[in-house]
Structure 1
């Protein structure tokens, strides 16, 4: 399998998480602490991902058929994502539809689901019918990001950014309107998250919390493909409790600091430049999360594709990141193959992996700045200027009196 860099969590977790037993997730789930693991038909992802695996698993009786059913269920997801991006950015939607990450990771994990909801959330704000009120747009966008967070946590960042943008005056000038619309945005996002999680937490708290306990206890090792492992070798190779605690603390602190910095830049821009570029801030917060978090899995490249499409990012940045990601993918699985056959000397796969890991890290750091400086594109692929955006993306905010 790894000789050809071919892998899917969908197949791997079928047996590892006992999905073939068709147990309703989280309700019968349990947590194992040594080594960290989850049981009872529960996957190590938020509740809606677990429900999706359960529903699609009902039609499958082997890991092969589960992969096929999952792939078929993702066909409308890919189509809808492409249409949403095309509605916003025209032909730039090819950055999603024809990209290497889509080919490599469409059925690698379940990440296409939050990607769709990310695209829908942005679309509703930027390109919803003119008859929809601003409150309706923001409520639906918040719900989309909240639903995405119930599949994978990262879209919660976008709900936070959008709420802050509303408060900063991205769409309203009156303070009362800002507060009301911010409450609608945050309330709809939080409401969906609670609706997707609270019933499971009440029925079986251990099964529901096993997801978070498992992810918190996951060791930072070579498989995380993060800067914390590869940048601190050989110390980071220690799997001892103290070392792992320090690594996790550093990753958590750096991620929080980076996200707060992005939000601070957005506030500064609103006060001193009079603009609130919330879509770019969402992309920047995501890039910080991918760079600083304890895990930067290969399929996370899918998360960036909506921002490569919707934001006016230069082609060179996109191609460079896609090339680094392919290098990481091929290098990682080819190096596993060489290890399996007993190759102990460094080979080209190790160099490809190094290029991929560090290339992605450097580019993510650059993309934080690139996203913050990038305008949203028109549906014909051009840059969106404040004069033609109807006030939904960039709006001049009154500069506070000195």
Structure 2
């Protein structure tokens, strides 16, 4: 077997095993709580919380009711996520009749998705895909939620731009990438952010006439927005209140200790009242900070694109994600799965990656252990609370720094030959698919990271 092929097989095996480990960690929470043990103490002792198992009961998934088409609140199969995730949850719940079975089916699907992401990342960045396959996040969060669905769509969009098939034209690349990001947004909203730097690149990269650039911008945005509309409009027409219930739930979600948010822990003691008026203030601050951060990143992206003639769209996408993660009102532990592919496809130094992953482990381990101590009456003056504090603020500080670091990095070039033949567009423009630039970015004529 060729050494490169053998290494990729090994990556896939490791990713699948890591996913299986996470399933094993989550299984205890599908069992009844022992007599005399508070549920909170049981869950936090083993750190086995998973939205997958928890929502089985709280959203009536055992009834196998098609989501979003009945009622006006969550439940009857409707979950607090965009429509494609809800439909996916309904489909994977059909073969089972218990939370345990649902977790196992979800774990099998998650292992397949983890392997697909591994192969896609290896296509883009070679052995840097080990950063995805062999670091803690998969073993900690693979079945924490359904985030791998959006991750695989995001990575597919990155591959479409950075390492597409040699026969694809530049317009095809933009269209496929836009569709992939739109599909990810129909699973979880955050990949929709990446349509903005993609469209900036399509329009401002000076590798084709203006008419061609306008056309491919429309193709990328049309593909992404079209997928989102196709996934949502039918539900809007059938049952608008049911469709809106997802957004009203997320808007009303309080910023509490389980969000691991800088807003909650940074604004104590005012934030401690999760039903008080200060919740609205924190929500406003979070929304404003996120919006300002996104505008700032996109402004830098446009300025660099106009100055260079090529757009650092990949770096911009990573920076947008970092801004969202640090400013959003919720900082769920599994969000690191969103960030990890960008650690692979951008040449981020190992110390940055290691520091972030250590902070993440401190945050999640500290949170669950601190919750256990609180449930059994130990209090918060413990090593667990200190570890959680270090993790939360360490992640936040690193994300802020990474916004700058991302813009200063180049993409991790694909393995193999340094350049491939130019592929003409039907309109006469051309792109060197996968060619290595002198500045370290990939794709000599088209917009790349």
Q: Is 1:55–2:91 an aligned residue pair?
A: yes
Q: Is 1:25–2:64 an aligned residue pair?
A: no
8 Å contact kept, 1:324–1:356: yes
Q: Is 1:142–2:196 an aligned residue pair?
A: no
The 3-state SS of whatever aligns with 1:30 is: coil
Moved more, 302-311 or 130-139: 130-139
Partner of 1:68: 104
1:92-138 deviation line (CA, Å, top 9, x unaligned): 00111112111100000000011101100010111111211111111
How does the TM-score come out when normalised to structure 1?
A: 0.93
In the alignment, the residues of structure 1 paired with residue 200 and residue 350 of structure 2 have an alpha-carbon distance, to the nearest angstrom, of: 30
Partner of 1:6: 48
Partner of 1:352: 387
8 Å contact kept, 1:29–1:42: no
Moved over 4 A (4+): 381-384
Partner of 1:367: 402
1:374 is displaced (CA, Å) by 1.2
Partner of 2:321: 286
How does the TM-score come out when normalised to structure 2?
A: 0.84
8 Å contact kept, 1:44–1:211: yes
Q: Pick from 86, 109, 117 the counterpart of residue 122 of structure 2.
A: 86
Give the root-mean-square deviation of aligned CA atoms: 1.7
1:310-342 deviation line (CA, Å, top 9, x unaligned): 001000000000000000110111111111111
8 Å contact kept, 2:314–2:448: no
Report 1:61-210 matches (<5 A). Answer: 61-169=97-205, 172-210=207-245
In the alignment, the residues of structure 2 paired with residue 267 and residue 201 of structure 1 have an alpha-carbon distance, to the nearest angstrom, of: 35
1:11-67 deviation line (CA, Å, top 9, x unaligned): 011011111111101112422xxxxxx222111000011011100000111000000
1:145-201 deviation line (CA, Å, top 9, x unaligned): 00000110000001121011211116x332111111000000000000000000011
Distance 1:187 1:63, change over 3 A: same
1:276 is displaced (CA, Å) by 1.1
1:273 is displaced (CA, Å) by 3.6
The 3-state SS of whatever aligns with 2:445 is: coil
8 Å contact kept, 1:28–1:41: no
In the alignment, the residues of structure 2 paired with residue 241 and residue 332 of structure 1 have an alpha-carbon distance, to the nearest angstrom, of: 23
Partner of 2:369: 334
Q: How many residues are aligned here? A: 388
